[in-house]
Every structure is written in structure tokens, then in C-alpha cells.
Amino acid sequence: MATGAVALRLRALRKAYGDVVAVDGIDLDASAGECFALLGPNGAGKTTTIEICEGLLEPDSGTVELLGLNWVSDERRLRQRLGVQLQETQLADKLTVEETVRLFRSFYERGPAVADVVAMVELEEKSGGRVGQLSGGQKQRLAIACALVGDPDLLFLDEPTTGLDPQGRRQVWQLIEQFKRDGRTIILTTHYMDEAERLSDHVAIMDHGRIIALGTPRELIASIGVDHVVEFAAEGAALDPAALEGLQGVRRARAENGGFQLQVTELHLAVPALLDELDGRGIALTELRTHSATLEDVFVMLTGRHLRED
């Protein structure tokens, strides 16, 4: 497929479960060859959206077009061209890695050899081992291997690193980066902002079944008009965040979790100004952190909440 062609197109997609509207009118285009992330907190409607795309759920209204095909008339052809990893699937514990991949490979008309897929996800050493004996990260790589056996044109990964330890996450990321280099189209859901930022070309931020922001990670971060975030905690006299908004280089200030958060355009001006201000009020600083603005800050800015409420 030519780069630039639309691999996935959603129009006015809607799905409700009883009174709960899970997906509330979504429009979205993902181009061939890109990695497109749906970022949002749990319950934002990401999984419902991706399962509608995968043909596992029927939308109440709206249209889904994948690779120029649709679920109503082209289901058989589409299934052959998609790779799917679902969020909660536990593969059969009693089978070996090789047997599991071979089973999934048998469903596809074309695709790489079983041993090649196992090697691609770096499970060669576990090839003859039972699935039940694998670590979380290895199980997830096996799930991804099962999504790759048909040499898919479009790959859906639903929360591929949720529940993994840092090493497991990094290995999955490297795998996804490899697919990107191979020119595959990837649709990814995640509630980790670093994952979306690192892997995706375009991000749709979802909340309550809607897309509340859409763009490249860089565009989204730039859209909030702050480059840095300063977080601090202090003790001494009470402090009104509004008093800090007048400081040089500070765009916005708010109290949070017993500390304060400043959204800042010019870090080199804002930090000295803050220190002077606190000093002048006789307030002692107990913690001070700064970081470049992230997609998390975009989400906080748009919703007033964090991606992960924990």
C-alpha cells in the first residue's frame, strides 16, 4: 500500500452499553505506514473503539473503513490482513510457544515461517516451553507474535505493555519500533503517555468516549503553550496558587496533592522568580522538580485530571 493512503478511517462512530456511552462520535484517519496511538485513561473508550475497528463489536452507528475495505462486505479478506493483540487474552497454558504460534499461523493463507516469528519476538529459547511458564513480558511478546503470523498490513495492539515491568515494556517497545521500520501500520491504545510519545506518529487523546485532542506528540505538547512544568512542595505560611501566576515566565499555577504545579514558558526565568517569591514570604522549599511538558500535561490541561488515577 502506498504511504499516505488511509489505512483506517472512522466516521461518527458511536457505541453505547445501555445508558453508558462508551464511544461518543469519533472521527479518525490513520495513514498507511504510521503508528497511531489512542491515549486516554481507563474507561475512556479506547478498547471499545479498537474492538469495533477489529470487527469484534458492532457500532451503534458510524462507519469503519480499513485498508479500503469494511466489515460488512469484506470480513474474510480483512481478517487475513489484520494482526490483532487483545488486552485480556490469556493463551492456553498447556501448549508450548511453538505450538501456539503454529496454531495461529495455520489460520492465515500467507505469512512468515513459525520459527521466524518466534525469533522475531526473541522467544527462540522458550520455543518448546509451556506458555504457562512464561513471564508476563514473554507472554505479551507471544501474543504479539500471534498477531504477526499473517504478515499483517494493519496491526492492532490494545494496551500492549499494561502490567509489564520496565524491562518487559522496553522489549515490547523495541519490537514495535522494529515494525515501524518495516513500514507496517500500527494502531495502538495506551494509558502511558511516555509510550504514546515514544512510539506514535499521531496521537488521539480520548476521554469519556470522545477525542479531545489530535495531532503529532510534538504538536499536542506545543498546543498547550508551555515548554516546562515545575512541581514543588513547601512548608511555612499558606500559599495561594493565584499569587504565583504573576511570576515571570509562569503561565498557570495550581495546587495539587499537597504541592504546587506551575506551567512555565521560560524555565530560566521562572525558577529564580519562584525562589525569590518563596524566600520573600518566608516559605521553605521541601521539593522541587522540573520536566519538559509531556502528553500527560496536555491531558491534565484539557481535563484537569491525570491519565492514571493512582
Q: Does 84 bind another protein (CB under 8 A)?
A: yes
Q: Does 116 bind another protein (CB under 8 A)?
A: yes
Q: Which of 37, 120, 176, 270 binds another protein (CB under 8 A)?
A: 120
Q: Does 214 bind another protein (CB under 8 A)?
A: no
Minimum CB–partner distance for residue 52 and another protein (Å):
12
Q: Which of 16, 21, 69, 103 binds another protein (CB under 8 A)?
A: 103
Phi then psi for residue 42, to 5 deg, are -60, 140
Q: Does 33 bind another protein (CB under 8 A)?
A: no
- Given the complex with another protein, which of 108 and 173 has the nearer CB atom? 108
- Given the complex with another protein, which of 179 and 260 has the nearer CB atom? 179
Q: Does 159 bind another protein (CB under 8 A)?
A: no
Q: Which of 110, 166, 235, 268 binds another protein (CB under 8 A)?
A: 110
What are the distances in angstroms from CA 284 to CA 238, 250, 274? 11, 20, 12
Burial annotation 84-120 (CB, 10 A radius, 16+ → b, else e) = bbbbeeebeeeebbbebbbebbeebeebbebeebbeb
End-to-end CA distance of the chain: 42
- Given the complex with another protein, which of 76 and 268 has the nearer CB atom? 76
Residue 66, beta-bridge partner list = 8, 69
Q: Does 104 bind another protein (CB under 8 A)?
A: yes
Site string for another protein, 37-66 (x = CB under 8 A): -----------------xxx----------
CA angle 197, 39, 56 (to 5 degrees): 130
Three-state helix/strand/coil letters over 208-277:
CCEEEEEECHHHHHHHCCCCEEEEEEEECCCCCHHHHCCCCCEEEEEEECCEEEEEECCHHHHHHHHHHH
Minimum CB–partner distance for residue 37 and another protein (Å):
20
d(CA 247, CA 271): 9
| DSSP run (H or E) holding 47 | helix 46-53
Q: Does 288 bind another protein (CB under 8 A)?
A: no
- Given the complex with another protein, which of 7 and 293 has the nearer CB atom? 7
Instruction: Tell me which residues touch another protein (CB under 8 A).
Output: 54-56, 76, 79-80, 82, 84, 86, 88-92, 94-95, 99, 102-113, 116, 120, 146, 150-151
